[in-house]
Structure 1
Amino acid sequence: MKNLLLAWQFWAILSAIFAALTAVFAKVGIENINSDFATFIRTIVIMVVLAAILSMIGGWQPVSTISPRTWTFLILSGLATGASWLCYFRALKLGDAARVAPLDKMSVLLVALFAVTFLGEKLTVPNWLGIALIAGGTVLVAYKG
């Protein structure tokens, strides 16, 4: 069990499960509310839960131990996350969850492209084939014909 908790694949699968639940719960939750305000409520819930988790595991650390570079990239990540959530909730408000969520997951393709371009990561031919299949499948799921 300890090895499972240390495997990135385990956490990635849990992330996918929770992301799926997020789409379904959010679609119902934004039915009679402004999507931006719904994002605000969601953000408060996340902050409270994370503060509780950090307190339980003793994960708080002095702000002074965080480098300026780390601050910069965490702030940029936070801004990108906020923009993503706002766009995602707006898309859910306007569209079907079964089509919005897969299209949102085109981020998989973009992460691969950005990681290769900006982080110097290397992907193999089978990796690129998988990414192409994800992109094709996403387009087919999002298609409303």
Structure 2
Amino acid sequence: MKDKIMAQAWLYWALASAIFAALTAIFAKMGLQGIDSDFATFIRTVVIIGALALFLSYTHKWQSLGSLSGRNWLFLILSGLATGASWLAYFKALQLGNASQVAPIDKFSVVLVTLFAVLFLGERPSGQEWLGIVLIGAGVLVLALKR
């Protein structure tokens, strides 16, 4: 039983991610009232850095920066830049639009992740997975055209 739970651990973490992402949209929309979205993104980033530093300290997971390879550095820096650009765009979209519009369109990233994973990581989704991706894309299109 424990092995089955461990094999499905990714699912529980992914569901937690979805819940926190949903709360992110709601809390951000409420917190953007009367302030610049870029400055709000900065505040969010400072909070994340502080929270992660505390978490790493508590769990004793700090690592030597020298233990990272050049490849680690390259892709983590690129990921950080992409995350920052995503957050800036997301907060601006939330400031200008409804959370119920912005968040679903933001989730078009699910479709893009699959396409990029096929192109760059060599992943091969099953027919059922492709169907799900097409349905997500269709759902995003329906939501984007609703207004």
TM range (shorter): over 0.9
Partner of residue 66, structure 2: 64
User: What are structure 1's unaligned runs of at least 5 residues?
Assistant: none
Cα deviations across residues 75-129 of structure 1 (Å, max 9, x unaligned)?
0000000000000000000000000000000000000000001110001111111
Give the count of matched residue pairs.
145
Moved over 6 A (4+): none
In structure 2, C-alpha distance between the alignment counterparts of 1:84 and 1:74, rounded to whole Å: 15
Match of 2:54 in 1: 52
1:5 to partner: Cα distance: 9.2
How far, CA to CA, are the matches of 1:20 and 1:47 in structure 2? 20
Partners of 1:4 and 1:10 within 8 A in 2: no
Task: Decide whether aligned partners of structure 1 residues 6 and 61 sit closer, same or farther in structure 2, where only a CA change above 3 A counts.
Answer: farther
Q: Does 1:101 find its partner at 2:103?
A: yes
Cα RMSD, aligned residues only: 1.5
Q: Deviations over 1:9-34 (max 9, x none)?
A: 00000000000000000001001100
Instruction: Note the C-alpha offset of 1:4.
Output: 5.5
Change over 3 Å in CA distance of 1:43–1:5 after alignment to 2:
farther
Q: Does 1:122 align with 2:147?
A: no
TM-score by length of 2: 0.94
Q: Matched residue of 2:61: which SS? A: coil
